[in-house]
Amino acid sequence: MTTLRQSKTDMVYQVDGDRGDWLIFAHGGDGHSACWCLQVAAFKARFRCLTYDAPGFGLSPAGSGLGKTPADDLRSLMDELGIDRAVLVGHSMGGLAVSGVAQRWPERVRALVMSDTPFGFQTEALQRWAAEMLVKIATGFQVLDHLFAPGFAERKPELHHLYEAICRTKLPAPPPKNPPDYSAAYIGMRDTPPVDYSGFPVPTLFIAGGEDELTLPWLLEATAQAVGGARLEVIAGAGHSPFYERTEVYNRVLAEFIDRFIPAAGKPISRT
């Protein structure tokens, strides 16, 4: 049985598995560490899996962490746990943490997985996408209404309800008066000049849900093309959350990528 722990900077985290290399999951802005439960269940027999609640999410209080960047928070947690190198997996918002560590401290990253996220890679495609998002938001587009492929809640009502129940587990806080405002972040992405990533040293996989209405498939494809040596996998029938919508396929894609750098030995990864 695993137990939630609190870091020196008050972030809440959990380690599952007691052998093998480290596999770290960074959650998106709609949830917290428990959203990775179906990946941890599949990979913990082979890896030591670290999941954590980013500051202000789940059970990590606002103001926890180092108070700098998501990458600094993740790096501090790796240092505290004595994690020299790890495979990093980031979903949506979590891409900022994992791509930031990979860019600033590439020697700490065995491989990088960007799951429906381009964040942290400042490209011309990101500029274009951010500009389009600002127009959408101005005309009523709500980010959190597009976490899944169209019709997912109707096709899989039990799974959809379970995901919502997981995401409701968080520290008490005053209910927001309005939907989250991402405009400042999009303005920053729109206005920041592109960076050359052609020589990026970390093996990288981008995963895109084929029906993602947020970080659109064309954006992930263009970002993968801009990051030297990166690969792209598109998961058909999934929206912004393929790790949850099509778990079996997602876990297989993730396992096959990791196997390129950490050959499987002993008990195989569960594909379900």
User: Whole-model pTM?
Assistant: 0.94
Q: Is residue 255 part of a domain?
A: yes
pLDDT in tens, 73-105: 999 999 999 999 999 999 999 999 999 999 999
Q: Residue 126's pLDDT is what? A: 98
Q: Is residue 272 part of a domain?
A: no
SS3 97: helix
Q: Is residue 265 part of a domain?
A: no
What are the residues whose beta carbons fall under 8 Å from the beta carbon of 1, sequence distance 6 or more? none
Per-residue pLDDT band for 272 (boundaries 50, 70, 90) equals very low
Which structural domain range is residue 44 located in?
Answer: 5-259
- How many domains, the chain? 1
pLDDT in tens, 28-55: 998 999 999 999 999 999 999 999 999 9
Check which CATH number belongs to the domain holding 192 and give it.
Answer: 3.40.50.1820
Q: Is residue 270 part of a domain?
A: no
Quote the tokens at residue 20.
């093998």
Q: Is the pLDDT of residue 269 over 50?
A: no
Nearest 10 degrees: Cα torsion 71, 258, 231, 224: -10
15: enclosing H helix or E strand: strand 12-16
CA-derived radius of gyration, the chain: 18
- Lookup result for tokens 């020299």: 84
Q: Is residue 266 part of a domain?
A: no
Torsions phi, psi for 109 (to 5 deg): -125, 120
Which strands form 204-209's sheet, in the order they lie side by side?
A: 5-6, 12-16, 48-52, 22-26, 86-91, 109-115, 204-209, 231-235
